[in-house]
Amino acid sequence: MPSDPSGVTPKGVLTRPAPDWFDDNIGTGGYVWNGAQPAGVDQYVTVGLYNDAVSGVALKVYAIYVSADGGGGFGFYFVKGPVGTLSAQCAPLRPDHGSPYGKIYYQQATVAANAVNPFNVGPYLGMIGSSGFDSFTVTSPFPLFIVPVGYTLVGTNVTVGSTVGVNFWYQQSNE
């Protein structure tokens, strides 16, 4: 039976906190778009976490970091398949582990000033706000989103901006 550094041998069942038993399956990835904001136009971006697993592995998103220099934050929704241009493969939390499932895709559009965001394709399932010229992180003890195989969790800035981005922190789990 395990014992603690004080030399006391515990009696009964030893429990471990959740982060201790699923931390080997954690991945992270994101994208920040930084472009000059031309006069008379608005710029919108999407950053998506695509689940590229072949079967049975869901990506449970536990934290999202958003940066939106115009404020407003990001709205999130799901799309089947990848959306935009591949940016990068996600990285493991531990550098001695192989790459996790999950790829980051992005796209950017410049539209006429005061035009509608072309990436606002439906109702948001969630929104993470940020004050102007700032960022915000949401971390949760339960999944904020669960990305099934073949789907992308897409975030788009709700107000215009020249520096916008999203980073995801997630666990791979068998479903």
% of residues, the chain, pLDDT over 90 = 41
pLDDT, tens digit, 9 for 90 and up, residues 8-49: 565 666 565 555 545 668 899 999 888 777 788 888 899 999
Could you write out the DSSP letters of every residue in 132-164? Answer: TTEEEEEE-SS-SEEE-TTEEEEEEESS--SEE
Provide the mean pLDDT of the chain: 84
pTM of the full structure: 0.84
Separation of alpha carbons 147 and 172, rounded Å: 10
Separation of alpha carbons 171 and 29, rounded Å: 12
Bridge partners, 34 (sequence order): 163
What lies within 8 Å, CB to CB, of 3 at 6+ separation is 9, 10
Separation of alpha carbons 81 and 38, rounded Å: 31
pLDDT, tens digit, 9 for 90 and up, residues 54-70: 888 999 999 999 888 87
How much is the pLDDT for 142? Answer: 85
- Alpha-helix residue ranges (DSSP H) falling in the chain: 18-22
